[in-house]
Every structure is written in C-alpha cells, then in structure tokens.
Amino acid sequence: MNSYRALQLQRFAPSVREGTQIVDLPLAEPQPGEVAVSNLCCGVNGIFDTQIARNAVDYVKVALPTLMGVEALGIVRAVGPGVEGLAPGDAVVTVRFRGGYREANVGPAAEFVKVPAATPEWLTLASTGVSAWLALHHIGQARAGETVAISAAAGGLGHLLVQLAKLRGCRVIAICGGPVKAAFVRSLGADHVIDYRAEPLADVLGRDFANAINLAIDTVGGSTFDALLDHLAPYGRLVVGGAAQDLDGRPEIVTGPRIVHKLYYKGASVRGFMNGLLTEHWPEARRQLFPLYESGRLRVVLDAQRFQGLAQVSDAVEHLMAGRSMGKVVVQLGSAA
C-alpha cells in the first residue's frame, strides 16, 4: 500500500459533511524520531469537529485544506531511527488535531501513547478518560462527600465523569435527556437522575438541590449553565468544559444581570476546562485511570450505533450532535488482522 485515505476539510461550511471530502494521500515512512501507524478506529468529538468545519475555534488556526479529527488508535507499522519504547505491533493512541480521521498516521513518537490492547475502550480511556479525570480532579478539585452535578451525563465524557465522581466518594446528580439515558446513568451509580425532557432542570434543582451543588461540570451551556450556576453551594465550583448550544463561534448575547453577585456572595467560582493546556498532566491521569479499568472498577461504554469507514464519520458526528448517543462514539477504520 503506497497511499491511505483521510477526511480533509476543503471548505468552511455549516457542517462536517458539507465541508469535507475523502482524499488519497501518499504513505510516508517514518523519519528519525517518528513512528508510522495503521489506524484501526477513531473517536468522534462532534462539537469540536463542527466548530472546526465552521472555522469557529479561536485557539486553532485552520489553513485550508486540512485533515480532520483528533483521536485515533492504531498499530505501529514501523519506527524511525532513535525511537525507544515503541516497536512494530504495539497498540498506540494519538490525540493530536489532524491525527484522527485518517487510515494511517506518521508523526513524532512523543505524540503516541502505548496502550495495552488495540480496542476502542483503550482509545476512550487514553483520550476522553483523561479529560474526565482532569476536569473532575485537577480543575474541579472534587472531594469525598461533595455533591457533583454532571450535564450530558450519558455521553462519552459524562458517563466516565459519573463513575469517577462516585469512585471519589461524591454524591452524583446526573443530567440527561430521556428515560433510556436515565436508566443508563443509574446503572453507572448516579445517586440522582434529572431527565430534563420530563421536567425543566431549573425547576428540579430549585426544588431538590437549592444552593447544594459543590461541583458542577457542564458541557452544554445556555440554560443548563444558568441553572447550575444558580444552585452552587457556598464555595461551589462550576467547571465549563464546552458549550454544545453555542456552535457559531459568537458569544451568546445575555441581557440578564452579570453573574458576579451569584459568585461573590457564595465565594463560588466558574472555571474553564481546556484539556490542551494540561498536557503535562496527561501521563499522570493515565497512570490513575488505566488500573481502574483493568481492575473492573471503571466501565467504558461504547455507543451502540456502529460506524464503519471514513465515509461514515459525518454520520457519526450527526448522530452525536442529535443527542442520540450513549457512551463513546467511535468509527471503525480497519482491522488488526
């Protein structure tokens, strides 16, 4: 094989489907310090992918054309001179932008993490799992006995946050939409489940958890952010890990009062979680996470909808963005055989 296929953004557009094309690229050999990898599967990050397609990510400068995707798991095909710790046949994960939606990958060995097996579960742990660990422990500073609220709790990130918070000894409020997702997060150990489709989130929090949330982790934004902010406990922390309701890259126009008084009188805080700023903490997060999975104390759940090949990446993004997914959404790219 002298070439491989990749998903390339060729024009800025409202969606990944409208802006991308599958292209053939030459298969390069690794140079000194590099490894060559044959990818088996990739993880889908629908919000980030859509924002990239719209050129709406302030901290990423996109020059067209560019490859798409972030997370991929594969098998090392070859290593360049001077590479230590990786060898052909090793299973590895990469989480670098432009490294995800492609059938092959070549890059510095330092950008690939060796994992015990070439399965989607290890891809999820080494990427989304790290985000969950750091959002909860490093930015959120979760403590045993605290009440922790998690939005999008049935998703790829959320289902890990629920379990990690329980392992930390926290009381977990899981927020999700629909009875199937509610049953799923209960099976993960959530103490309280709020189905926002059955009852408005703000009403439930005001009735059952008024000023009682020690830590909230929100990836939804909008009215969900507002409701969580309103019911922070004294010294409560609200971690912002994304905003699914704001995809156009423009700040939401808020006509209500500023939030300063809601924070000041409680000694509360709003904290931004940007995983790309925490790379120095990724190895330690993996050292903590991997044994939890290997010992069976942490479940990694893959979304039941299966996607195969680069042609279905857009389908996977739209499936996630429509709110139909539970667990981590992955796309199979190849076979280890």
Could you tell me what percent of the chain has a pLDDT over 90?
Answer: 90
The mean pLDDT value of the chain amounts to 95
Residue 124 has pLDDT above 80, yes or no: yes
Q: pLDDT band at 225, cuts 50/70/90? A: very high
pLDDT at site 245: 60
Give the whole-angstrom CA distance, residue 8 versus residue 251. Answer: 28
Could you tell me what percent of the chain has a pLDDT over 70?
Answer: 96
pLDDT tens digits, one per residue of 137-172: 999 999 999 999 999 999 999 999 999 999 999 999
- The DSSP bridge partners found for residue 57 are none
Model confidence, pTM: 0.95
Give the whole-angstrom CA distance, residue 118 versus residue 217. Answer: 30
List domains and CATH numbers for the chain: 3-118+302-332 (3.90.180.10), 129-276 (3.40.50.720)
Distances (CA, A) of 203 to 224, 244, 262: 11, 21, 18
247 phi-psi bin (left φ>0, alpha ψ -120 to 50, beta other): alpha
The set of residues, in sequence order, having a beta carbon less than 8 Å from that of 298 and lying 6+ positions away, is 160, 163, 164, 167, 289, 292
pLDDT tens digits, one per residue of 231-276: 999 999 999 997 766 655 556 677 777 889 899 999 999 999 999 9
> Worst-scoring range by mean pLDDT, 199-208, 259-268, 287-296, 304-313?
259-268
The set of residues, in sequence order, having a beta carbon less than 8 Å from that of 115 and lying 6+ positions away, is 73, 91, 92, 93, 122, 123, 125, 126
